[in-house]
């Protein structure tokens, strides 16, 4: 028989059920990792979005993670609710997850290390996984990735996924496992809401947060899998700090050749053409 701090036991099915339900009751008023309601019933949908089109809605606690698989054309909005979230993001082709975000190509092909609205998230095969269609943050990082277990163990005392100061790589590993992916499938990530700039001497300058309510909206240009770890940035000099992140997704349309983004740059156009041709050949477009 296993005792718990509440006095109940988990040595029987009935005891384990009682303990689990007591934990849920104790959590009232805290951040829900998944609301017990359909996405269409989310209490605060974006004003420009028809609630009936919402397909995913949740608040990810600081130090938490999420994963979502969405159809082509879906819009995904990440919002820093209190001002100290940091959304570390990985993206994969849902129908062929070995094609995934390549941060180096994303930066190199677009001649831009500071990603914002109008920029693309590119795969390792020169195709567009997602486009950034909204950004009120202007605080991001495509250079330093996320935190590691060893670094968080050294700095905070515990970098495990279940600990109080989880490393981003550990959270990504949990999210990836939900889709039959392992640690070898975790490339470098990008992050939003905690800014980094490189000074004239080539040194990183941590700029901190854009503040409460900052949001970034991605549009899926292929069937897309997103992994999101909400944990402190590796360059954040403060004690471990991580606050809630809202993740909303709604149905929409992918970029077409009539969209200004399609022809915004020669490099972007080539990436969109590569994406269209591949989807057409596979009977998806």
Count of the separate structural domains present in the chain: 1
Contact assessment for residue 230 and residue 81, using Cβ atoms and an 8 Å cutoff: no
Strand order in 54-60's β-sheet? 54-60, 245-250, 75-80, 215-220, 128-135, 120-122
Residue 176, both tokens = 């990836």
What is the structure's pLDDT at 28?
46
Beta strands 87-93 and 190-192, pairing class: antiparallel
Residue 133, both tokens = 């269609």
Of residues 169, 175, 115, the one with CA closest to residue 146: 169
What is the structure's pLDDT at 29?
45
Assigned domain for 8 exists: no
- Residue showing tokens 């019933």: 41
Helices 103-110 and 266-281, interaxial angle, to 10°? 130
Q: Which range of residues forms the domain containing residue 140?
A: 53-281
How buried is 22 (Cβ within 10 angstroms: 0-12 exposed, 13-18 middle, 19+ buried)?
A: middle
Assigned domain for 41 exists: no
Determine phi and psi for 225, rounding to 5 degrees.
-110, 125
Assigned domain for 115 exists: yes
Assigned domain for 119 exists: yes
SS3 14: helix
Residues in CB range of 207: below 8 A, 6 or more apart? 139, 194, 195, 196, 197
Contact assessment for residue 238 and residue 244, using Cβ atoms and an 8 Å cutoff: no
Assigned domain for 7 exists: no
Per DSSP, 234 falls in state T
Strand ranges, E, within the chain: 54-60, 64-70, 75-80, 87-93, 120-122, 128-135, 140-141, 190-192, 194-198, 204-209, 215-220, 224-230, 245-250
What is the structure's pLDDT at 24?
56
Task: Quickly list H helices, the chain.
Answer: 13-26, 103-110, 149-156, 168-177, 266-281
What is the structure's pLDDT at 37?
66
Assigned domain for 252 exists: yes
Task: Spell out the per-residue pLDDT of the chain, length 285, in tens.
Answer: 555 545 556 678 887 778 776 755 554 444 544 445 689 889 888 889 999 999 999 999 999 999 999 999 999 999 999 999 999 999 999 999 999 999 999 999 999 999 999 999 999 999 999 999 999 998 999 999 999 999 999 999 999 999 999 999 999 999 999 999 999 999 999 999 999 999 999 999 999 998 999 999 999 999 999 999 999 999 999 999 999 999 999 999 999 999 999 999 999 999 999 999 999 999 887
Question: C-alpha 146: how far from its chain's center?
Answer: 12
Per DSSP, 262 falls in state G
């Amino acid at each position: 028989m296993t005792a718990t701090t509440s006095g109940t036991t988990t040595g029987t099915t009935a005891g384990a059920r009682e303990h689990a339900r007591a934990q849920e009751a104790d959590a009232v008023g805290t951040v829900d990792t998944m609301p017990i309601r359909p996405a269409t019933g989310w209490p605060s949908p974006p004003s420009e979005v028809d609630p009936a089109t919402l397909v995913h809605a949740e608040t990810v606690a600081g130090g938490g993670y999420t994963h979502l698989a969405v159809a082509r054309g879906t819009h995904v909005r990440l919002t820093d609710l209190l001002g100290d979230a940091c959304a570390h993001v990985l993206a994969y082709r849902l129908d062929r997850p070995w094609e995934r975000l390549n941060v180096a190509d994303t930066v190199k092909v677009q001649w831009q290390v500071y990603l914002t609205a109008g920029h693309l998230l590119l795969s390792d095969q020169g195709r567009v996984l997602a486009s950034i269609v909204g950004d009120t943050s202007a605080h991001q990082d495509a250079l330093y990735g996320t935190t590691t277990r060893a670094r968080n163990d050294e700095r905070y005392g515990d970098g495990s996924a279940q600990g109080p100061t989880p490393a981003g790589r550990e959270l990504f590993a949990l999210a990836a496992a939900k889709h039959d992916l392992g640690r070898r499938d975790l490339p470098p990530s990008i992050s939003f809401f905690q800014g980094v700039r490189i000074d004239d001497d080539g040194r990183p300058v941590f700029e901190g947060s854009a503040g409460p309510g900052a949001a970034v909206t991605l549009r899926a240009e292929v069937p897309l899998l997103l992994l999101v770890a909400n944990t402190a940035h590796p360059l954040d000099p403060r004690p471990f700090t991580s606050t809630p992140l809202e993740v909303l997704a709604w149905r929409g349309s992918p970029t077409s050749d009539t969209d200004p983004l399609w022809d915004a740059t020669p490099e972007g156009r080539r990436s969109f053409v590569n994406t269209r041709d591949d989807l057409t050949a596979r009977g998806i477009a």
